[in-house]
Copies of this chain bind each other. A is one copy, B any other.
C-alpha cells in the first residue's frame, strides 16, 4: 500500500473489487464510480476498464463472486450436517448481513450484464446448491415438492434479509438480533405446528 507502485499494480482487479465493496457497503451501488475506484487504487482513471470492460462488468464480477460466496457458505452448512432447515435460512440471512455489497448487487439485474456466461453459471450453481440443501432436509418439514419447498424457504430467507436490511422490520418487533428473529420466524412456519 505504501510502496510506490510500479507501472503494473500487481492485483488491480482485486483492489478495484475491494474498493467497490467498500463504497457499496457504505453508500450503495449508485455511489460507485469507476474513476473513484481507480483513484483509490492509485491508478489512472481508465485502468479499471481493462479488467472489467464496463461499470456493469465490474458489478457483474461482484455478483458472480457473491453467488460463489453464498454457495460456499451454504455448502459448508450442509457439510457440517445441519439437519435443521432453519439453520440453512440462518446461513442465508447471515450471508446477506455479512456481505451486504455482494448481496445488494447479486439481486439487482439492472446493474449487471444479465447474460454474461459466468454470471448465469454462478446463478445456476447456487440455485442448485440451495435446492439440494432443502432436499436434504427430513421430508416432514418440507412437504413432497422440493421445488416448491425451495421457493418457500428461499423466499422467506430472502425477504427477511432484504426487509431487515431496508429497516422495514424494526417497527414490528422489539429490538432483537436478526439471526434469532429469523430463527423464530422460520420456526413459526416450518415448525411441527402453527
Contacts and interface: CB of A to CB of B under 8 A. Distances in A.
A173 B107 CA distance: 19
Interface stretch (A9-17, A36-44, A72-80, A180-188): A180-188
B189 A173 contact: no
Contacts of A28: 108-111
Interface string A166-189: 111101110000000100110011
A168 B123 contact: yes
A150 B123 contact: no
Interface size class of chain A, counting residues whose CB lies under 8 Å from the partner chain = 35 or more
Contact of A151 (B107, B127, B185): B185
Contacts of A166: 107-109
Interface string A63-86: 000000000000000000000000
Contacts of A160: 151, 155, 159
Interface of A: 27-31, 107-111, 123-124, 127, 131, 140-143, 145, 147-152, 154-160, 162-163, 166-169, 171-173, 181, 184-185, 188-190, 192, 194
